[in-house]
Structure 1
Amino acid sequence: MTAPTSLPRPVGRLLLGAFLVVAGVAHVVARQEFHAQVPSWFPVDADVTVLVSGAVELALGAAVLLAPRARRPLVGWLVAGLFVAVFPGNVAQYVEGVDAFGLDSDGARLTRLFFQPLLVLWALWSTGAWPRQRDEEGRA
């Protein structure tokens, strides 16, 4: 049984998809800014990392926007996984004190870290991933 659809969830999904597509394009257009999020210890070249992560965001953004209803929960879990995977880069930006995207103070960089769990929740909620997972576990 799928969760009932209400207007906020589809709007949230469309906004999430658009956010990811814009972020993916920004990875190409403003690559230097995104270098700030690649930890100094990361073993892959910063430019390659930024371009690959941008391509992943573009692909996932398109999937969020275009996936058939039955596939949306899977896409939601993948997007949530992306947000978890990039979190160490956000932490590194804070720890290493690298300025980018207007985050020019430790306080601003620290505050940003608290928004990452909200992105994960947004991905799971707007795609119906969380309610579907709960429904499937209840039937097992």
Structure 2
Amino acid sequence: MSDTTSSLRTFARWSLSGAMVFAGLTHLFWGRKEFQAQVPDWTTRGTGFDKDDVVIVSGVLEVMLGASLVVLPGSRRTLGNCLAAFFVGIFPGNVEQYLKKRDGFGLDTDRKRFLRLFFQPVLVAVALWSTRDGRR
């Protein structure tokens, strides 16, 4: 792997780490109410959790995954897989936000909510690519 590719992967991983920690803290503190717009209604049925509980749990997971990308370099590939799975797991919330026309974080039109759906596969790809060393 070239030095440039390695540097790009490192930059992407650190950027993703920072974004995840920031997003997690947002879930836990100042953005809790808005994140509830992304929680699918079905996640609270029969679980004993309300939407705020789901936001808190996902925020804790985001902080842990984001920080782990930096502090556990020996587990990079596993963490990339876990983060990609996390992004896939929260995708139904983005779909529900679009389908039920729920506003949140500036996603206040059908167009913005629809375009947001295409961002999730990019996050999955970055999580996987940035945690690989280029070898099979």
Q: Report the TM-score, using the length of structure 1 for normalisation.
A: 0.87
Deviations 1:7-55 (A, max 9, x none): 1110111000000000000001210010000012222310000000000
Which residue of 2 is the match for residue 27 of structure 1?
27
The letter of the residue matching 1:96 is: K
Cα distance in 2 for partners of 1:107, 1:41 equals: 24
Q: Report the TM-score, using the length of structure 2 for normalisation.
A: 0.90
Which residue of 2 is the match for residue 111 of structure 1?
115
Map residues 95-134 of structure 1 onto 2, 5 A cutoff.
95-128=99-132, 131-132=134-135
Count of matched residue pairs = 129
Farther off after superposition, 119-128 or 34-43 = 34-43
Q: Which runs of 5+ in 2 are unaligned?
A: none
Cα distance in 2 for partners of 1:28, 1:74 equals: 25
Which residue of 2 is the match for residue 42 of structure 1?
43
Residue 4 of structure 1 deviates from its aligned partner by: 5.6
Cα distance in 2 for partners of 1:89, 1:105 equals: 16
Secondary structure of the 1:36 match is helix
* 4+ runs deviating over 4 angstroms: none
Secondary structure of the 1:7 match is helix
The letter of the residue matching 1:11 is: F
* Percent identical: 47
Q: Which runs of 5+ in 1 are unaligned?
A: 136-140
Cα distance in 2 for partners of 1:26, 1:77 equals: 23
Farther off after superposition, 75-84 or 42-51 = 42-51
Residue 127 of structure 1 deviates from its aligned partner by: 0.9
